[in-house]
Homo-oligomer: A and B are copies of this chain.
Amino acid sequence: MAISRRALLRLTGAGALAGTLPALARGAAGSGGMRGLPWAYGALDPDATGDRAFDGYQRGHCMYGAFEAIAGQVAERLGPPFVSFPFEIFTYGGCGVNGWATLCGALNGSAAAFQLLSAKPEPLIDALFSWYEREALPNYVPAAARFRNLPSRAGSPLCHASIAAWCRGAGKRSYSPERQERCGVLTAAVARQAVVLLNAQAAGKVLETGLSGTTAACMACHEKGGALEDIRSKMSCGGCHRVLAREHPTVP
């Protein structure tokens, strides 16, 4: 699906954040224990995070794999009481929450980690979700992977759409060993990118996100301030509405 894109840069406030985050986090660790958000974050190694996420996926599925790879490293640096956080709570999010195939668990877990580790998680979420929609993934394959992992574009943050797109591209079944491993490799790639973004924000860089031109045209009528204003979404409309789009010939 080749679509034109209009990059919509959003300021993250990361410049201001870089100055205040350590102080906030230190204060939190001193006074509020693990309840004081955000926890103190320092740059992590992206590839090592991806490998740890691939390993965690084998134990607790995609959401746990992504979250534990990121937040687990931070907790180990901070020590008690942070290491007593119940990381296993996030096993619920496997395959879009217990097989419901709603939100990709690797995104769900990364978003939870952003909220835990950043005073400004919103631009991190937007940047990661839009990257996941548009990129051919995985863009990183852990050395422990057994199969050849062909990249595919999900076009959506939803597990259902992501797996369907992969099955079409790979010619494999949705319960095959290849698909099972693919979701572990995807978890690695997503956790890795989440750390790339966290590192960038902590270094004061501006994060990039955006809507496709097609989606921006849909939103102009259907989202906030539009003539209809009858939905809420930041998802790429074409991820689900390819058929419906034929009924909107005026939309580019």
Q: A interface vs B, CB < 8 Å?
A: 33-37, 81, 84-93, 95-103, 107-108, 111-112, 114-116, 121-122, 125-126, 129, 157-160, 163-164, 167-168, 173-175, 223-225, 229-235, 240, 243-244, 247
Contacts and interface: CB of A to CB of B under 8 A. Distances in A.
B115 A230 contact: no
A84 B163 contact: no
A102 B231 CA distance: 12
Contacts of A158: 102, 158
A216 to B, nearest CB: 15
A35 B86 contact: yes
A136 to B, nearest CB: 19
Q: Which interface residue of A103, A114, A224, A231 has the most chain B CB atoms within 10 A?
A: A103
Nearest to A179: B232
21 contacts: A34-B84, A34-B86, A35-B87, A36-B86, A85-B85, A95-B232, A97-B103, A97-B108, A98-B121, A98-B125, A101-B232, A103-B103, A158-B158, A164-B230, A164-B231, A173-B229, A174-B224, A175-B225, A175-B229, A175-B232, A243-B243
Contacts of A240: 240
Q: Copy number in this complex? A: 2
B116 A235 contact: no
Given A97-B111, A102-B103, A111-B92, A86 B230 contact: no
A92 B129 CA distance: 13
A130 to B, nearest CB: 9
Contacts of A244: 243
Nearest to A159: B232
A227 to B, nearest CB: 10
